Amino acid sequence: MQELLNTLTLGSIYLLFALGMALAWSTIGILNFAHGAIFVFSAFSAHFISDFVPLSMPAIILISVLVGATLSALTQWLAFEPILKRSKNHRSAELRILIGGIGVAAIPIALVDWATASAPFGFANSSYSTQVYEIMGLRITNTSLIVIIAGVGIAVGLTLWLRRSRQGLGLRAIGVDSETASLMGVNRTVMAIGTMAIAGGLAGLAGALQVFQLQAMGVETGDQLLIKAFAMIVLGGLGSMAGVILGAFVLAGAESLIFAANMGTWVDAVSFGLIFLVLLVRPQGIFGRQEVRRT
């Protein structure tokens, strides 16, 4: 039971990180490789300010979310939109956005690296303190509860918003065919910048909550999570937010089981091996739709 609770917490951390990335990728088609850098830079910005002024948890989260949203929206406006406009076709645009994302990511990461001299940073100066509860033999912290509620709550909320709201419908339309969506009155540019702002805000939220949960973050943390998030999205099925939720908890569950078996150095090999096996059977991912090619 304790392992299940640990899996739920770890899965929620993964989920919070992956949600923003999945949202942008599955709707406006932006696979943002700067997502990890935005995640790190947002948390670092909150750390930087909280070092001068002791801040509460909500204030730290707010700063991190705002920085993430701003950085992500600026990335879309100043980097990805010009790339999209100048690309001749969808395939070349995708490749250029990938490379552009890597380029953009290098800047905030270099700044954090320089400012921290590669030392881990956290919110040691925050007024928030973690409490441990023991309920029926299970140990859980207040931070874990916040992470689980935030992760699952936002994931479900986002899924419902995409499925049922008018804006969600517009976004999904862009994901299917952006030109037709534009003809139907969807303003692709505004929607794309807005989506990237939400994705960045989620990265900021994930960054702040991860630091509260794990106490520290290293400058390379974003890159490590980026690969896992990529795997979760592909496993769950691109375009399916429910798939991302499942992917996050499957990966966290696999990792917890491997750790429980004391095979810690096999975590990536076994977890990603399992994902590979699933994709052999269902290349579109667990909840992904089969692609139909018309000739």
Check binding of 224 to other proteins (CB under 8 A). Answer: yes
Only one of the segments 60-68, 159-167, 215-223, 234-242 lies at the binding site for other proteins (rule: CB under 8 A); that segment is: 215-223
- 3-state secondary structure (DSSP) of residue 138: strand
Q: Which of 1, 117, 135, 281: binder of other proteins (CB under 8 A)? A: 117
Check binding of 64 to other proteins (CB under 8 A). Answer: no
Give the C-alpha separation, 109 to 104, whole Å. Answer: 9
Give the C-alpha separation, 219 to 108, whole Å. Answer: 10
**Between 130 and 187, whose beta carbon lies closer to other proteins?**
130
| Contact indicator for 108, 37 with CB cutoff of 8 Å | yes
Check binding of 217 to other proteins (CB under 8 A). Answer: yes
C-beta of 223: minimal distance to other proteins in Å? 9
What are φ and ψ of residue 89, in 5° steps?
-145, 175
By C-alpha distance, which of 263, 226, 256, 270 is closest to 8? 256
Q: Which of 62, 66, 145, 267: binder of other proteins (CB under 8 A)? A: 267
Q: How far is CA 171 from the centre of its chain?
A: 18
Only one of the segments 75-83, 119-127, 159-167, 233-241 lies at the binding site for other proteins (rule: CB under 8 A); that segment is: 119-127
Check binding of 122 to other proteins (CB under 8 A). Answer: yes
**Between 93 and 150, whose beta carbon lies closer to other proteins?**
150
Helix axes 166-176, 142-164, angle to 10 degrees: 80
Check binding of 216 to other proteins (CB under 8 A). Answer: yes
By C-alpha distance, which of 43, 19, 3 is closest to 150? 19
Interface ranges with other proteins (CB under 8 A): 2-3, 6, 9-10, 13, 110, 113-114, 117-122, 124, 130, 132, 139, 141, 210, 213-221, 224-225, 256, 259-260, 262, 264-265, 267-268
